Amino acid sequence: MGGGAEVTLGEAQRAELIEAARSAARHAYAPYSDYSVGAALLFEDGAVITGCNVENASYGLALCAETVAVAKALGEGRRGGLVAVAVTGPTDKGDGAPITPCGRCRQVLNEIAQLGATDPLVLCVGTERTESVSLSDLLPRAFGPANLA
Ligand code: THU
C-alpha cells in the first residue's frame, strides 16, 4: 500500500537539513504558545523548502511549521519528489524528546509525498538525539490523492 523506496541520507545532508529547520524556527510567529517550530523539506533535486509555525490571535487558526512548508512547496509548483523532512522544536520546553509532527501535519505531508510516490524520512529532532522515522510509519494506511485518482 503506497510506500516509496526506503530513503537513506548522508550525515552531512542530515545535518544540513536539521540546520535549515532550526534556522526556519527563528522566524516562528508563536507569541501565544511561545513554542517555536521549524520544518525543512528536502526534494529529489536537492532543493530545501522551510517553514515555521504561524499563530493567530484566534488561537485555533495556528498553522504548524510542517504545514507552512508544504504549502510553500505546493505553491511553488512542486508535486512530489519529497525525500526527507526535518522538524525542530524549542530546546527549553518539554522533556527534550524528539518532536514528531502532529496528526494534521502527517496528513498534509502525505499529500505531497503521495503525489510523487515517495515515503520521506522524517527527522524528529530532540535535544539529545534525532529519531528518523518514515512517514508511512508515522501515518500508516494513509488516505491520500491516490485514493481519488
Ligand atoms: N506545532 C508545529 O508547528 N508542528 C507540530 O507538528 C506540532 C505543533 C506548533 C503549533 C503551535 O504553534 C505550537 O507548535 C504549539 O502547539
List of residues 6+ apart from 15 with CB closer than 8 A:
none
CATH of residue 38: 3.40.140.10
Residue 133 in any domain: the answer is: no
Q: Which atom of ligand 1 is nearest to the CA of 68?
A: 3
pLDDT tens across 38-83, in order? 999 999 999 999 999 999 999 999 999 999 999 999 999 999 999 9
Could you tell me what percent of the chain has a pLDDT over 90? 94
- From CA 101, how far away is CA 91, in angstroms rounded? 16
Q: How far is the CA of 25 from the centre of ligand 1 (A)?
A: 11
Residue 146 in any domain: the answer is: no
Residue 69 in any domain: the answer is: yes
Q: How far is the CA of 28 from the centre of ligand 1 (A)?
A: 10
What is the reported pLDDT for 13? 96
- Provide the CB-side half-sphere exposure for 81 (13 A, CA): 13
- From CA 37, how far away is CA 22, in angstroms rounded? 8
Per the CB < 8 A criterion, the answer to whether 118 and 80 are in contact is yes
Query: Could you tell me the pLDDT band of residue 31, with boundaries at 50, 70 and 90?
Result: very high
The three-class DSSP label of residue 84 is strand
Instruction: State the average pLDDT for the chain.
Output: 96
In this predicted structure, the answer to whether residue 140 has a pLDDT above a threshold of 70 is yes
Per the CB < 8 A criterion, the answer to whether 70 and 111 are in contact is yes
Secondary structure letter of residue 7 according to DSSP: P
Q: What is the mean predicted confidence (pLDDT) over 14-23?
A: 98
Domain residue limits at 123: 11-94+102-128
In this predicted structure, the answer to whether residue 1 has a pLDDT above a threshold of 90 is no
Residue 1 in any domain: the answer is: no
In this predicted structure, the answer to whether residue 120 has a pLDDT above a threshold of 60 is yes
Instruction: Domain count for the chain, please give it.
Output: 1
* β-pair type (38-43, 130-134): unpaired
Residue 84 in any domain: the answer is: yes
Question: Which residue, by CA, sits nearest to atom 10 of ligand 1?
Answer: 64
- From CA 86, how far away is CA 39, in angstroms rounded? 6
Please give the order of strands across the beta sheet that includes 48-52.
Answer: 48-52, 38-43, 82-88, 121-125, 130-134
What is the reported pLDDT for 93? 95
Q: What is the mean predicted confidence (pLDDT) over 25-44?
A: 98
Residue 77 in any domain: the answer is: yes
Residue with cell 522538524: 87
What is the reported pLDDT for 22? 98
What is the reported pLDDT for 6? 78
In this predicted structure, the answer to whether residue 5 has a pLDDT above a threshold of 90 is no
Among residues 66, 76, 111, 128, which one is catalytic?
66
